[in-house]
Structure 1
Amino acid sequence: MKLRIAAIVASSATILLIATGCSVPSDTAGGGDSTAAPTREIKKIFFSNILPSYPPLAEADKCFLAEAKKLGIEASTSGPTGLSTDNAKSIDLVSQAIATGYDAIVMQPIDKAQFTPVMEQAQAAGILLATMNTGDTTDTQDFTIGTDYAIQGATIGEAISKRSGQQNIGIIGNAPTGTHLLFTNGVKDGIESQKLDNVKFIVDAFDDGDPNKTVDVVNQMLTAHPEINVVLSWQGLSAAGIMTAIKEKNAGGKIVGVTNDVTPEVAQGIKDGILFGTSKQNFCQMGIGAVDNLVAISKGEKVAKAIDSGITFVTKDNIDKESN
């Protein structure tokens, strides 16, 4: 089994939530162990958040800061404003954190080529690195924490298979590589491994990680492939566009969306039947786990190289519970 970490959102230049197509072999904890001799004490820790305005990642910020405070560690977070990722901004923030003398950095490197140089700079400076929800996009980090795509793909496939009749899936992503590829492979592997005969992957389509383009991309995909009746995306910000496209085609009940994360908009879409379900990722645990495991490594303790923070698949049956 391979551990693949999900991401939620991405930019046109990236491959997201989040990026490249390599994977970390997993064992019971995921991908072996990261070990180190005790390093300098972590007194200051920084989180470069790719979308701090996106509610689930705002939750990661909150839990990261609370856990650091509990442990007596000075912590700060920052990221691009608005709801579009900006790799250059994220990289610049990490560079500033290196120059400022942080002891540990949590980051979301959604493009290996762009982020590896700054990660190597941090490593050369003796700074501990954790990546959040970007899987094995990069390999310079001490560990990664987030959603396991193999588990998520199997979970999504099984849930969709419970719908009546043939289920033909079209997947919306930002680009045909990186996290999108990890996610798509996770879904396809889940369908095959569980022998879900009534579930079939048809095609994927790309909106450059720009939610303003999602409606048109979904409409074009559905026009080109009218057999598709499930529109799936790992990009949390694609939910609105998916729902709008389904409504514009007056296809409610015939075509459903499946998304990532639970927001008020997604919760309402599930209740209205436009969305069949969504994967609720555990962003609070990502924030907490990033801090705790960096501290453990600084003390010379063993930490899994890839840590699954878990998901819950949410439908009408449990939306009230999971959206509270």
Structure 2
Amino acid sequence: EVLIPLPDRRLVLRTPRGLEVFSGDHLILATGARELFLPFPGWTLPGVFGLGGLQAHLKGGLDLAGRRVAVAGSGPLLLAVTRLLLRRGAEVVGPFEQAPRNRVVRFAFHTLTREGGLGDLLRHRRAALRLRCGAWCLEALGTEHIEGVRIHTRTGVVRERVDALACAFGFVPETRLGRLLGAETRHGAILVDDTQKTTLDGIFAAGEVTGIAGKNAARWEGRAAGAAAAGAKLTASCARRLLRGRQFGRRLAGAHRLRAELRNLANPDTIICRCEGIRLRDLAPEWSPREARILGRLGMGPCQGRVCGPILAFLRGASDGSQPRAPLSPMTGAEWAALDDILSSEGDSRS
């Protein structure tokens, strides 16, 4: 795990053996993305999962057979999680996709006819047939554990009894390391050229850190970045694949663009920052992301703003203007002492 970037393309890593300093002539950033959660009343109740989080728990052995599980949010992961739940014997409520049906159908048709998506469609056909568009979760109901959900649909608000809820609204590129290194961003992703080179010499980026476009695009971006870092010429075939991947990413973003109504789900008592227990009423409407951090402690907890930073940016209708700080994950006092010893032994005057 990368904790701190140092000058001259060096990184402080947390490894099973302790802290180590890695250096290289070139770096390829492939830090991926994290789920975007949008707060609504009850979203912090036990039994409410992110889509990716529930998917990981199911693959790790979580047994929800016979349980009623609501699936809501936005993006293709809705279908993947629904399919997995059905295969594991759960009773699925939904899935509910916030995007309107016409955009989702148009995107699915393009994926099927232009992107070779027939295999994906066949794998997810049971889930796709259940998909309800223009619908989203208004509230998770319960006291000690989720007991039900209220869902906005095109025909009105419905209430369903559930044992669990999986909900997330797409992904946010994990750009903190790149920004700490000094790489420029555009539209919330690390900016790269046609060879996946960032705005920094010797540093490349590949995958969802450069924009959400799926596994196929990430694979070809990784090949391009590796070739460029090794000094090899990009093949015409790879260049075409990169272009297709970027076009697919733009279509994906357009199809699942988040509707403005989602900004109004939280009420004054709704928790925005889970780490610090900060509610919407605790944040002055005029505060910038930096002011929310300094004056309201938003993003000062263990996640360091990875969850609540994008939430605040979406609620305010602005980009996340906060600047990440090292370390990227909390460090113990013993680790700080070990780092000081490592840097001192290297004669690093900047330690």
TM norm. shorter chain > 0.5: no
Larger of the two Rg values belongs to structure: 2
Normalised by the size of structure 2, how large is the TM-score? 0.26
Higher relative contact order (CA closer than 8 Å, sequence separation 6+): 1
